[in-house]
Structure 1
Amino acid sequence: MKRQTIIICCSLFVNSILMAQQTPKILTDSKANYLPDFSYAGYHFGESQIPEVTGKIINATDFGVKANDALDDSKALLKAIKAATSTEGNVILQLPAGRIILSDILYIERSNFVLRGTGSGENGTEIYCPRPMMYLKNPESLAELREYLTTFDKRQREAENNIDLSFSQYAWSGGFIWTQVPGERVKSYLDKYEPIPNVLAKVSSGNMGEHVITVSAVKGLKVGDIVELQLFNKDGENGEIIKDLYKGASVKPGSHHWNFPKLPIVRQQVEITKISNSKITIKTPLTIAVKPSYQAQLVEWKHLEEVGIEHIRFTFPDIPRVAHHVEPGNNAIFLTRLFNSWVKDIVITNSDSGILAEEDANVTIQDIVTDGPHMAHYTVTLGGVHTILVKNLKIYNKTVHPLSFNTFATKNVYQNCEIFTQPLLDQHSGANHQNLFDHITVHINPDKNNSYLLFGGGGADYWKPSHGPFSTFWNLNVQVEKVVDSAKPILLYGMKDGPFARIIGVNGNAEFEVKYEPDAYIEFLNTSLDKVPSLYDYQLQKRLK
């Protein structure tokens, strides 16, 4: 019996080595099982490193900012950012080392702008925010959101906790550092405020995964333009685009897929690389096919470029948490309307939300730490964004949605991230599709049934299902802190309405089973992907060759 056990163990060990040396079948047979190309995510489509910007340096200390004096620096910071904004060329607003106190919003409203501290460590720059944004003047750009929350009586109701409270405007928006294009609406909430877009071309066809679209009525487009591709559902509950978006999966789309026909249901920010008569080539591949009934169009997309936020620590007081969606607004960074920009070397302590992103493309967010005893809503969340790369994010604090792809998020990547406390990989409904969790490490404590809810599907019913086809998990490393029953595999579960996911290389320090519905493609279960540890890196290197 002992000899037989040894042979079986050796056989399993040898098979494990052989599997680790192999390439997943999905990489060599993607026609049978479609795998999106995620390699375009990040700053300059992943083709350039984040720069060490040089230019005119504006020292915040010249405008009265004085660290470590226990006095509020907001007025001085506002003067400094105004001076930097009016400076021509590349500009760096340099913050001093030490604690700076901020109790107002700093808006970054121009391109070629870097907000730079001296480091995120103990001897670096700390921005301390003593009170949340709920005590500030209401931001004009959130007026529509406030009206939406009131009109639809959005409330957090928890009878068992005696809670019946209005949603906060800061539950998923706003930040003490806030990038925006002045006067531009960021997110659609109410039809009556929907602006008439500047349509640059009508789009009639294009194939999923390809780069060429057929256009007509072209107006002023040129190579190098960054525009937004919009696809609509104007055909109600049975619209063809809904069936195409979910590839006929056995899921039930919610009413927001057809109740707002003026709003695009699929959108991509794209760069024009070639124009040839009725054919336009775009830099990034289409996430779904374009058909005439989708009334697709290319529209002007106003945005900022080459904006950087770097080398800073944000600290908030550890205030009591009342309830979900009523967060008072201890949010560090709100990124809107950015292209080819970055955030790096940031530590965020005790936030409600660390970094919120909306209506951005090709931004790299890297070397981020979130920590503290306060229970957060989000760490770094991606909603309404395209081709964003979040790299080297470490999460030490408890969070409702530690990693989250939110409404309209497409072709985004979380890479080399690690969740140390109560991990959850969330996909938050709202027609989000084709996003990648790449080489993620999670630390779990299985429940008494030897299982763990790892795959989350948040969001409201009217935006279900949790995600569209081809969301991908690659080389997911699961570290079990306390084994309940080593004799049987640990079940990783949670997703019931996420069609056609790709789950490649779930591995760790125990044996696992995966339950992911419906129709997930699972390969290399309980096998480390040593040959291709990162799908993003693999696809990027292959493309750049």
Structure 2
Amino acid sequence: MRSLNIYTAIFTILLSTCAFKIATESQWQSKLVHIKSDGSLTYTPDEKGNQIPDFSYVGYHHGNTQIPEVKVVKSIAPDGTNDQQIIQQAIDEVSKLQPDKNGIRGAILLKRGIYKIPGTLQLQAGGVVLRGEGDQKEGTRLIATGKGQRSLLKINGQGKPASVEKTRTNITNNYVGTGSFSVNVQNASQFHAGDQVILYYPGSQNWISDLKMDQIEARKGTKQWQAEEYNLAFQREITKIEGDKLWLDNPVVMEINPKYTAAQVYAYTFSGRISESGVENIYFESEFQGDTDEDHGWIAIDFNNIENGWVRNITAVHFGYAAVSLGSQAKNITVRDSRCLDPKSIITGSRRYSFNNDGQLNLFMNMETTYGRHDYVTGAKTLGPNVFFNGKTRQSQSDIGPHHRWAVGTLYDNIDTDGDIDIQDRGNYGSGHGWSGVTQILWNCKAKRAAVQSPWVSGLNYAIGLQGQKYPGRFTDRPDGFWEGQNKRNLNPSSLYLAQLAARKK
């Protein structure tokens, strides 16, 4: 799947916008998002002021900058004996180079051939790119050899977000609706445009109770949700300040209701987080002993503690868990034009999460998978906006969507699966998965069937232009999500993400 780069895609959506001026009768638009003849968008809020958020500020540098073509500074070739050592030495060497003004050190070119990797490659510096000569077997082929569940390649900085002393201030709005880019605070004097801030929602017991997540039907191992485990920290940047109003680079994706949370804003630093590292044009493969083998390569590319990085044009075959997995501190990562094929594992929990996202402001686009369980998936407390755009799945072994414990703000845009897409209360699945998420949007997706429900409180989930069967999911008595245009073709815009991106770039 190599056909759609982001600029071609934007041009395509602009063409469709122009076509809309002529107004073909078969096109229809959502009641919630309206595209005008000039390509601009208008949003219809609900009675509380919530609207569909703008998902366009995700991925590498918020989609404002193209992924760079980094100059090669080191070339290597396999020798069949010490391949892991050869690659690791090259990574370590380039990691010591002085970065340029953009934080780039250079690319390592892995020449065409087979590289045998018995362990894990570690990349812990920013500005380093691993580039192969093709993501087919005949290209640059990295094989996780032998036994051991592991990541073949880990790109991982250090540390964690640290609050800046004396910057914490309360949000004073009576209510902030989903989709808003601003909040009012008690004291904005300590902030400046460009500051990195946390939009912080402390958990509360009355919120847990109204979600009924302290009432999960128990079985062995079930844990009721605890308020202190649901403190949500959305990472944002201040774009401007007007009095005590802070404008943010990305929207609120879960309503701020003082009934449930005493929300705050505070500045943070993250000194160990790296940036500007990427992986390109490589074929990743895991050895295995049988279709249910559990003791082999588990993740091809594993990111965490990194921002403004990327993966493009990779193929991963036979890994037990994922082609690409983004950890909770992976932010503004673009994963595109990539495939996860024919994983090998038992078909059960915590396996076959082909493209897994636990981080914030990340974009997955132009993906292809086979035989996965949860192909485009988020984990517990995955905080958005995040986007999965243009993904094809075949021989699905389970469902796509937010998996458990309250993902917030995910767009599934033009996802095409022969399995299910589910956004629901998962009840006592796992150790008490419960409500899988809020502000989860299916836009112009295709599925065998879908369950889209909205939680008892805190917002809605949406199915707009879904092609497929509607079914009740795990429970038949949960509130229905917002459904519009089921099995109705020619939704305009055909892609919400691309339309939002094009509209703000006008």
Q: Give the TM-score, by structure 1 length.
A: 0.72
8 Å CA contact 1:99–1:125 kept in 2: the answer is yes
Q: Alpha-carbon deviation of 1:351?
A: 0.5
What residue is the counterpart of 2:446 in the other structure?
477
Residue aligned with 2:32, SS? helix
For residues 100 and 388 of structure 1, what CA distance do their matches in structure 2 show? 29
The reply to whether residue 203 of structure 1 matches residue 206 of structure 2 is: no
Matches within 5 A, 1:47-446: 47-54=64-71, 57-59=73-75, 61=76, 66-67=77-78, 69-89=79-99, 90=104, 91-134=106-149, 175-182=151-158, 184=159, 197-199=163-165, 201-205=167-171, 207-208=176-177, 209-215=179-185, 222-233=192-203, 235=204, 237-239=205-207, 242=208, 257-258=225-226, 261=228, 265-276=231-242, 278-290=244-256, 291=258, 293-302=262-271, 303-320=273-290, 329-352=297-320, 353-358=322-327, 359-372=329-342, 374-375=344-345, 377-383=352-358, 385-396=359-370, 398-409=371-382, 410-422=384-396, 424-444=399-419
Q: Secondary structure at the match of 1:280?
A: strand
Amino acid at match of 1:476: C
Q: Which residue does 1:12 correspond to in 2? A: none
Instruction: Give the superposition deviation at 1:222.
Output: 4.2
1:85 positional shift? 0.6
d(CA) in 1 for partners of 2:32, 2:295: 42
2:506 maps to 1:506: no
In the alignment of these two chains, the number of paired residues is 435
Q: How many angstroms apart in 1 are the aligned matches of 2:299 and 2:284? A: 9
Secondary structure of the residue that 2:262 maps to in structure 1? helix
Residues 1:495 and 1:57: Cα distance change in structure 2 (over 3 Å)? same
AA at the equivalent of 2:326: A
Gaps of 5+ in 1: 1-16, 135-169, 187-195, 445-452, 481-491
| Structure 1 residue 185 displacement after superposition | 5.0
Equivalents in 1 of 2:82, 2:463: separation in Å?
49
> Any conservation in 2 of the 1:413–1:435 contact (CA below 8 Å)?
yes
2:417 alignment partner AA: V
Q: Secondary structure at the match of 2:373?
A: strand
1:200 touches 1:217 (CA, 8 Å); kept in 2?
Answer: no
Q: Deviations along 1:467-496, whole A, 9 cap, x unmatched?
A: 12x211011124x7xxxxxxxxxxx24566
By how many angstroms is 1:129 displaced? 0.9
**Would the aligned equivalents of 1:92 and 1:116 in 2 still touch at CA under 8 Å?**
yes
How many angstroms apart in 1 are the aligned matches of 2:83 and 2:392?
Answer: 34
Check whether the contact 2:74–2:109 (CA below 8 A) recurs between aligned residues: yes
Shift of 1:507: 2.3
- Between structures 1 and 2, the one with greater helix share: 1
How much does 1:223 deviate? 3.1
| Cα distance in structure 2, aligned partners of 1:271 and 1:256 | 34
**Counterpart check, 1:24 vs 2:41:** no
Instruction: Indicate if the aligned counterparts of 2:201 and 2:231 stay in contact, CA closer than 8 A.
Output: yes
The two structures have a TM-score, normalised by structure 2, of 0.77
Structure 2 CA distance for partners of 1:232 and 1:328, relative to 1, 3 Å:
farther
Distance 1:438 1:103 in 2: 37
Deviation at 1:281, TM superposition (A): 2.2
* CA offset digits 1:8-60 (Å, max 9, x no partner): xxxxxxxxx97731211121462137322211121121222222123x6122x
Among 414, 435, 438, the residue aligned to 1:465? 435
Paired residues of 2:95 and 2:126 also in contact (CA < 8 A): no
Find out whether 1:533 has 2:499 as its counterpart.
Answer: no
Judge conservation of contact 1:310–1:344 (CA < 8 Å) in 2.
yes
Inter-CA distance 537–377: structure 2 relative to 1 (3 Å threshold): same
Secondary structure, aligned partner of 1:121 = coil
Deviations 1:444-473 (A, max 9, x none): 5xxxxxxxx4426666454421212x2110
Give 1:414's aligned amino acid: F
AA paired with 1:299?
Y
Alignment correspondent of 1:140 = none
Aligned to 2:16: none
1:522 is matched with 483
- Residue 232 of structure 1 aligns with an amino acid whose one-letter code is P
8 Å CA contact 1:229, 1:298 repeated in 2: no
Q: How far is 1:395 from its partner? A: 0.4
Q: 1:177 to 1:222 in 2, by over 3 A?
A: farther
Change (3 A) 1:203 1:428: farther
CA distance in 1, matches of 2:353, 2:364: 14
Q: Partners of 1:400 and 1:18 in 2: how far apart? A: 39
The Cα offsets for residues 307-361 of structure 1, whole Å up to 9 and x where unpaired, read as 21111110101334659xx775521111112222211000000001211111122
Q: From the superposition, tell whether residues 429 and 544 of structure 1 become closer, same or farther in structure 2 (CA, over 3 Å).
A: same
